[in-house]
Chains A and B, each alone.
Chain A
Amino acid sequence: MTEPLDRLSRLLLKAKAKALAEENETLAWFRRRPDYRPEFEYFLNIVGQGDLAAIADRAGRPVIALLCNQSPLELIVAAGFQPVKIASGSLAETSFSGFGWPALTCPVVKGLLTRLAFKSSSRSVPIVAPATCDWVAKFGEMARFALPAPPSVAYLDLPRFKQDPFSQKKWLSEVYKLKNYLEDLRGGPITRANLLAAIADLNAAYAAFLSLKAARLKGQLSLSWFLLIVGSFFGDTPRRWAENARRLTFKSNGSNSLAKVFLAGSPIFFPNFKLPALMEEAGLTTVADDLCSSERIFPPGQVLEDSSLPGLLASLAGRYHQGCLCPTFGDNDRRINNILGQKNEAGFTGVVFTVLKGCHPYDLESSLLEPALKERNLRFLRLETDYAAEDRQNLLTRLEAFGQSLKGEPGF
């Protein structure tokens, strides 16, 4: 009995060392880039969310880990916690085979379980999980199976049909459930004043996010930096992140790429920046995206007219449910409108859709979106990949060809 455990421990230690090396390699890659600026250093220092204890120390408050975007961040901040969306973008973590998961397991969840196995300090952090895809819904059970001391997972039963009024009511009751859960953890009630202060903080972060989005739209911020800066949002308090993001200055780099694209599909998490790096190498300028690891961290719909506590909770519930474009929803057909609406603003002519192997909802979504977007004269490139580097050249070739087709070069 002890021998297999020892073997598991050895494998975990190896994975941990590799994961750390991967993170350092990605950070070094960012620092070597010609568009690196010292003002980005703050974001490079907070982007890794592997060590939740370090984030708690930095934020000066305990951490609540989140599995998806639908938990109202304002409520968690109002309760005095630091929300941290946890997900794995590490090849070493996802390649770990010690638990015997199926081959096409979602790499984000698989890698996360590996990380929790070797980061025992992170296991004491409570996790809030809105039940989005099957992998997230099964995460708690998988954690109990794999980890000797599994973390506590509080599930929110996310209704899959967001436009249905009964679903909206059900979700509101789940938001109240979350409020009660947080109040139990906090040991006191969340007041209207707490919530208003948290909303002000998140609104400031949203304003900073919009300035980053505007800079990217003007070609002043590359995709990689945008994903890194926005992805680092959970590494510090929303207020401090917003202050640092607002301090960034942007200058035009003079390029006016014809190959403007929209990036959609499965999320891209630190330290895996394979795809953004390849897109940049292929000469594609990404002017907007709808990744849940990027733009969708900040869902729309945050103007709150009814500022009573129940009014604020109802508004937040709507924002994080009806306003969410996650493909796990059964009535998500208007997600295409987000792409078409942004097309008018950003002027892209192509959509790059990334499907992470094992991420079934996005796999299906790409099949639904492709014909609809092509019908509206948008070129569409579907890339199925994982965190490994083996398909780099193949992806680059396809991206370059896609870029040439967007520029209207001969042969396309």
Chain B
Amino acid sequence: MKIGLIRGAIQWLSFFVLTYGGRVGIHLGSALPCFACPFVPGCGGYCYLMGLQGYIGFGLALGPAQGKEILVALGWLGVFILLVLLLGKAWCGFICPFGLIQDWLTFIRNKLGLRERYLSPQGKKYLGVVKYVFLGLIVFLPPLIVAKILPPDLYLPFCNICPGKLILPLFAGETRYLAVNLDNAVTMWLSLALIVVAAVTLVGAFFKDRFYCLFCPFLALIHVLRPLTALRLVKEPTSCVGCGVCRRNCQMDVAILDQDQAQVQTIECVDCLRCLTACPMSGTLKYKFLSLTLFAASRWTRLRLRPKP
């Protein structure tokens, strides 16, 4: 089965739905576990990270007086958990529009014949910490804003420096985030930071597959629920010959893929399934929904005769 084609088709479909869906009345709610940016005019759903900042800062933090908001916040949290339990990291590999944009950059780099830059394991470890810093921003800053310890312009602190806020709206013709916001010093520095982060992300993603996913707070959030997710990548270690093709083709360079262990879905894994496509040992890697195998590695069907000159 052409996993790459199926995945590509789903990525494109979700990109259109999440970027333009609102224009035809589609809205998938405010708890999507991917970068469905609310700053895109006419988008088809909202990234849960925005909701999380909003509900924590302006819902839960307001206390019992705002009981309804708390219920709404808990409701969206429940939806988020349900969506993660259902699809796991497929949100990253199959659905996230920002993931697709990074895959386009990889495609262009490959067409130009430029090599991918690899990070050392140590470098990856240090950079991986950034996602927890972002999570910290999401959880701890909103209450401080509500308590008026921090200025209100820091509202939605993560969104203010999320590269998706600048890049994704461009696909809907929204260019205002390209400019520096000179309303006051806080907005100026935040908008400058956004431009810098977006530029670094684009350059990084051009030279390194799924560069931004290294920092994405969703990977950490989804990974918390990984043991319970219905959709998952599993490995049968007794038929792995350790050829390493999985790791060499992994977008996130997951170091343990070719080792003798069953649990290979690490926090970095984005379910791109390039390992499964490349694996020459039939049935060694499987992509399963509960006990149903959706895709399995196969010696016979993996003949992607690319790259071609």
Contacts and interface: CB of A to CB of B under 8 A. Distances in A.
A214 B300 CA distance: 9
Contacts of B260: 334
Nearest to A214: B300
A323 interface: yes
A250 to B, nearest CB: 15
A309 B245 contact: no
A340 B238 contact: yes
Interface string B219-243: 0000000000000000001111111
B249 A334 contact: no
A303 B249 contact: yes
Interface string B293-309: 00000011011111111
Contacts of A196: 307-309
B241 A200 contact: no
Given A309-B113, A310-B115, A344 B282 contact: yes
Given A210-B303, A334-B260, A341-B282, A303 B277 contact: yes
B278 interface: yes
A334 B109 CA distance: 35
A300 B245 contact: yes
B248 interface: yes
B241 A325 contact: yes
Given A300-B280, A303-B249, A322 B243 contact: yes
Nearest to A304: B307
Interface string A163-182: 10000100000000000000
Given A311-B116, A315-B248, A303 B242 contact: no
Interface string B80-93: 00000000000000
B110 interface: yes
A3 to B, nearest CB: 55
Given A307-B110, A341-B283, A345-B299, A335 B305 contact: no
A395 B220 CA distance: 61
A277 B304 CA distance: 36
A305 to B, nearest CB: 5
A307 B304 CA distance: 13
A206 to B, nearest CB: 7
A290 to B, nearest CB: 10
A200 B306 CA distance: 7
Interface string A218-249: 00000000000000000000000000000000
A344 B284 CA distance: 11
B115 A309 contact: yes
A344 B239 contact: yes
B116 A303 contact: no
Contacts of A267: none
Nearest to A202: B305
A206 B241 CA distance: 19
Nearest to B115: A308
B141 interface: no
B110 A306 contact: yes
Interface string B263-282: 00000000000100110111
Interface in B102-122: 109-110, 113-116
Contact of B258 (A197, A299, A322, A344): A322
A204 B304 CA distance: 10
B242 A193 contact: no
Contacts of B242: 162-163, 322, 334, 337
Contacts of B109: 308
Q: Is the interface of B mostly helix, strand, loop or mixed?
A: loop
Contact of A337 (B110, B281, B307): B281
A200 B113 contact: no
Nearest to A314: B248
Nearest to A322: B244
B195 to A, nearest CB: 29
A203 interface: yes
A210 B280 CA distance: 11
A318 interface: yes
User: Which residue among B109, B302, B303 has the maximum number of chain A CB atoms within 10 Å of its CB?
Assistant: B303
A301 interface: yes
Contact of A308 (B114, B241, B249, B283): B114
A207 interface: yes
Contacts of A203: 303, 305
Contact of A301 (B110, B114, B280): B280
A185 B248 CA distance: 30
Nearest to B255: A165
Given A206-B303, A311-B116, A197 B309 contact: yes
A31 interface: no
Contact of B303 (A168, A207, A309, A340): A207
A257 interface: no
Given A163-B242, A337-B281, A308 B113 contact: yes
A119 interface: no
A193 B56 CA distance: 55
A338 B284 CA distance: 11
Contacts of A197: 309
Nearest to B284: A341
Contacts of A303: 245, 249, 274, 277-278, 302, 304, 306
A304 to B, nearest CB: 6
A192 interface: yes
Contacts of A335: 241
A319 B249 CA distance: 12
A345 B307 contact: no
Contacts of A309: 113, 115
B124 to A, nearest CB: 14
Contacts of B299: 210, 300, 345
B238 A311 contact: no
Interface of A: 162-163, 168, 192-193, 196-197, 199-200, 203-204, 206-207, 210, 214, 299-312, 314-315, 318-319, 322-323, 325, 334-335, 337-338, 340-341, 344-345
26 contacts: A196-B308, A200-B305, A200-B309, A204-B305, A210-B303, A302-B245, A303-B304, A304-B249, A304-B306, A305-B110, A306-B115, A306-B116, A307-B110, A307-B113, A308-B113, A310-B115, A319-B243, A322-B243, A322-B244, A323-B245, A337-B238, A337-B239, A337-B240, A340-B238, A341-B241, A341-B284
Given A303-B306, A318-B243, A341-B282, 16 more contacts: A163-B242, A163-B258, A196-B309, A200-B305, A206-B303, A214-B300, A299-B243, A300-B299, A303-B278, A303-B304, A307-B113, A308-B116, A309-B115, A318-B248, A325-B241, A345-B299
